[in-house]
Amino acid sequence: MAGEAAGTSIGARRTTGRRRRARSGAARWRQIGFYLLVLIALAVSLFPFYWIIRTSLATNAEIAQGVEATGLLPSHLSFSAYVDDFTQQHFLTPLINSAIVALAATAVTIVVATMAGYALARMPIRGTSAILGFILVAGFFPVLAMVGPLFLLFKELNVLDSIYPLILAYLVYTLPIATWLLRNFFSQIPRELEEAALVDGATRIQALRKVVVPVAIPGVFTAAILAFILAWNDFAFAVSFLETPAHFTAPLAIVNFGQSNFQVFYNRIDAAVVIITIPIALLVLVAQRRIVTGLTAGSFR
Amino acid sequence: MSAHAASTARAQRPVRRRDGHGGSAADRRLGYALVAPVVVLLLAVTAYPLIYNVWNSFHRVNLSEAGAAQPFVGVENYSRMFGSSVWVSALERTVAFTAVSVVLEMIVAVVLALMLNHRFRGRGLLRAAILIPWAVPTVVSATLWKTMFDPRTGFVDYMLGGLHLPGAHTTWLAGVWTSWAAILIADAWKNVPFMAIILLAGLQVIPGEVYEAARIDGATAWQAFRRMTLPLLKPALAVALIFRTLQAFLVFDVIYIMTGGGPGVSTETLAFLNWQKFLVDTDFGYGGAISVMLVVMALAISAVYVRLLRQETA
């Protein structure tokens, strides 16, 4: 706590020795209190993850006995729930479905949002602020209000119960934040870079491809990470449009585990939860700074 | 986007105007071509459903009536909605949930953001630790808290029982208030981090001298927070508040997964009711009316947001 320390030293210079001791005592207590709060925050954030990992490693018999018989630690580590997820619940298919849809939505988002973000930051377009306003409002559009009409549309087109129409629906999650983020990013790239290329006889497109895009790569990367997370996390569209378990996305499959079985296998459900959390947790650990910047620069959802 | 970003955009406007003056017609055409896809795609997923909903809401559109025509019914769906005690109580629940969750989450988020604004050992760890709950699917957060609250395999009952506290051996998701408590906790666990990150960004633009000046003036920590930090944090607070208000108002996933609207209908929110009308009753006329009202209310909330931001940057 740098601020705290500086404050104490200013105070210490002015006060007598006795008060100084009292003050540093208080400061120490304050520091202990602060770290206590940090510990609580860490525990609340992370302990539930420990709990699902613990539950996922328990056998059906242990689950049936209840937590009071088994305690905080798993009595032994059983990976049978993970094996069951793939052999009996066929969880691999929904995982692949989710990966396809999320990656496709991310790809479309990046291409479309990079073009628009650049144009909105740099090109002489009339109505720029109106377009930006519309994109902002689109990001606020209630997803559940889209579900009915899109259901009818997909039914009409005979594409209900397929994962591919989800790619279109997911754009409502990903495009607004990605476009705003990239537009803000392009605004910060020095104009001179591009103008130099234009003076050298490059066309707009060439200048964009050779000069601007390389500089914009970090922004594009940030937008891609956020888009992937938002698409990977969808539940509302999947539960509305998909019917056949083989077409489910991973989140929908997990919810279905709990409902389709006569007996609820918490270890299987939690093993699947652990599996779909791993890529997201890795992404957060690797790209923490980017995610924070992206959220604050384009903050949506 | 944050108020900070809005003000940078404002600062750049003169530059753009100069450039726009020199922009050729070809440049302008290219500009429109580059923006067109995002506008078309977003219109397809927002304006199209909205118009379709408006049309449906004035007709009888029910897929369970096989082969039926879709007759014009005037405002029948709307009068049915406003006269429906189911809709009214879903609205009341939604408003109550929004108010309680947003206020509680805001308080926790302010504390977290103030903590993260200090430089201390473990700051990176704490930031990563709170980002993971934000980044995981709602299916994960809801399922995880369902496990935590389960009377047999859950931690909550185990802990309460171990500490001899009341509440042990509660079937949380069987009672109305205990269900809401579980939903609130699951929702806060996932959404507080987002608010904290936005608020942290707001705190980081406040120059350190502001705090130094307050300290030299002999202000207590609370006075410094109220008189200095809070006013300067207002733009970030506005952004975080309105984002969360909208999200909470449209809450669906966590309810569907944790309680399915139950026990009975006691945790049914507007978005959940809307989903049921569409996909359980296949009543797209009545569902359309509910959707149209949902959009109107969401737009009203976001209009407040845009106005607040404009005031801040003016």
The verdict on A42 and A151 lying in the same domain is no
User: What range defines the domain where residue A104 resides?
Assistant: 83-298
Domain membership flag for residue B207: yes
Task: Mark yes or no for CB contact B39/A131 under 8 Å.
Answer: yes
The pLDDT, as a whole number, for residue A19 is 52
Query: What is the torsional sign of CA A162, A164, A166, A169?
Result: negative
Residue range A41-59: mean pLDDT, rounded: 93
The rounded mean pLDDT for chain A is: 85
> Could you tell me if residue A279 is inside a domain?
yes
| CATH code for the domain of A152 | 1.10.3720.10
Residues A16-38 have a mean pLDDT of 76
| A175 contacts B41? CB cut-off 8 A | yes
Prediction ipTM score: 0.87
Mean of the pLDDT values across residues A208-232? 88
Query: Which pLDDT score, from 0 to 100, does residue A14 have?
Result: 45
The mean pLDDT of A204-225, rounded to a whole number, is: 85
Model pLDDT, residue A11: 40
Q: Residue A191: list chain B partners with CB under 8 A.
A: 15, 19
Q: Is residue A52 in a domain? A: no
Are A88 and A180 part of one and the same domain? yes
How many folded domains does chain B comprise?
A: 1
pLDDT at B15: 42
Model pLDDT, residue B66: 67
**Same domain (yes/no): A42, A131:** no
**B-interface mutation test, from A34, A128, A140, A263, most B Cβ less than 10 A away:** A140
The confidence score (pLDDT) of residue A187 equals 86
Look at A67 and B154 and tell me if their CB atoms are within 8 Å.
yes
Q: Residue B62 forms beta bridges with which residues?
A: B283
B214 compared with A37, residue with greater pLDDT: A37
| pLDDT at A46 exceeding the cut of 80 | yes
Tell which A residues from 206 to 265 touch B, by Cβ distance under 8 Å: 229, 232-236, 239-240, 251-252, 254-255, 258
Cβ–Cβ of A299/B239 closer than 8 Å? Answer: yes
Q: Cβ contacts (< 8 Å) between B94 and chain A: which residues?
A: none
Write down the pLDDT at residue B53.
95
pLDDT at residue A199, as a whole number: 82
Backbone Cα Rg of chain B: 24
**Does A13 or B106 have the greater pLDDT score?**
B106
DSSP per residue, B246-267: HHHHT--HHHHHHTTT-STTTT
- Cα(A284)–Cα(B134) distance, integer angstroms: 10
Which tokens in the block code for residue A64?
Answer: 């049936």
- Are A272 and A127 in the same domain? yes
| pLDDT in the model for residue A259 | 66
Would you state the structure tokens that stand for residue A203, as one six-digit string?
């066309």
Domain count, chain A: 2
pLDDT at residue A260, rounded to an integer:
58
Structure tokens at B141: 């957060």
Helix (H) or strand (E) holding B182: helix B176-204
DSSP state of B174: G
User: What is the tens place of the pLDDT at every residue in B185-207?
Assistant: 999 999 999 999 999 988 888 88
Local mean pLDDT, 10-residue blocks, chain B (314 residues): 42 42 74 94 94 94 79 91 95 97 96 91 91 94 92 85 78 90 96 93 83 78 82 85 92 94 91 95 95 94 76 60
